Amino acid sequence: RIRQGLKKTSQVLNTDVRDLFKSEGRLIDEDFLDDLRAILFKTDMGYDPTEELVAEVAKNMRGRVVHMTDVIDVLKTKLKELMAQDESPITYAASGPTVIMVCGVNGAGKTTSIAKLACMFKGQGKSVVLGAGDTFRAAAVEQLGIWADRLGVECVKGPEGSHPATVAYQAVEYALNNNIEVCIVDTAGRLQTQKNLMSELTKIRDSIRKQIPEAPHEALLVLDATTGQNGISQANNFAEAAGCTGIVLAKLDGTAKGGVVVAIRQQIGLPVKYIGFGEQHEDLVLFNPDKFVDEMFD
């Protein structure tokens, strides 16, 4: 399934790299390196990683006639080195409910990612409650409710017009009173001004802490992979405002910009924890950099 999700990225990489090798072997010269640079750049991994990969190929192979697989092997090894991250699953509370706050701009895939996470926890045999904290959008509250019904989990919704922090409080309260293991709190995705966003997310965080001082145990930022590099500055704003602990990268199936995970790794000091690659609730996996790189070139 991940392979399907990365199909657009791997198609670009494989088709274009294969095109560079019209015959069996190919001389690694400046023309080749320029073309390779252009291909890598298309995956949106960013300037520095692209240059590092090209330099690695040049260092190992310039002036030699090599096969495509030799180049791909060098690229894969270097990419894995650049990502240098272990799998980074959710950190659970030592006891009591684990509270996960989820943020991101509207449309990034927040609601769907919450449903996917809930489905994953349920699959692990954990009880889950959702907090519909995106109270500025009636549709978001409704959509989360629909997912909750479909997945058979509880969804705490405030009365219309309630503050996101109130809903967050009630969701945590519900989790505590009902011995629920995981409480996932949605937040508003308005990015009107940095100050406004910051104060809203801080209020949500504070209301959660009133009941569980060490919560939220995770604050996940959902990023839309199709926005590629453009999502990164936005990510930095959120990371600061919400004290994010990790990233859920959604919509990888919709883009050839899968290289953006490398850019994220380099430009945001947060691990990619999960990747989403479809609209269904099972289309989410724990991010494993080695597997990801292998799939990029599969």
Q: Which stretch binds ligand GDP (CB under 6 A): 56-64, 155-163, 194-202, 249-257?
A: 249-257
Contacts of residue 33, defined as CB under 8 A and 6 or more positions apart, other chains included, come to 54, 57, 58, 62
Residue 39 near ligand GDP by CB under 6 A: no
- Per the annotation, does 50 bind a ligand? no
Site string for ligand GDP, 257-276 (x = CB under 6 A): -------------------x
Widest pairwise Cα distance in the chain:
69
Q: What is the number of other CB atoms lying within 10 angstroms of the CB of residue 164?
A: 23
Residue 111 near ligand GDP by CB under 6 A: yes
Question: Residues in contact with ligand GDP, total (CB under 6 A)?
Answer: 19
Residue 250 near ligand GDP by CB under 6 A: yes
CB 52 to ligand GDP: min, Å: 28
Cβ-contact 108, 250 below 8 angstroms: yes
Q: Which stretch binds ligand GDP (CB under 6 A): 17-25, 36-44, 58-66, 101-109?
A: 101-109
d(CA 44, CA 151): 35
Residue 277 near ligand GDP by CB under 6 A: yes
Q: Which stretch binds ligand GDP (CB under 6 A): 72-80, 100-108, 156-164, 212-220?
A: 100-108
Residue 73 class from Cβ within 10 Å (0-12 exposed, 13-18 middle, 19+ buried)? middle
Q: Which residues are at the interface with ligand GDP (CB under 6 A)?
A: 104, 106-112, 140, 189, 250-251, 253-254, 276-279, 283
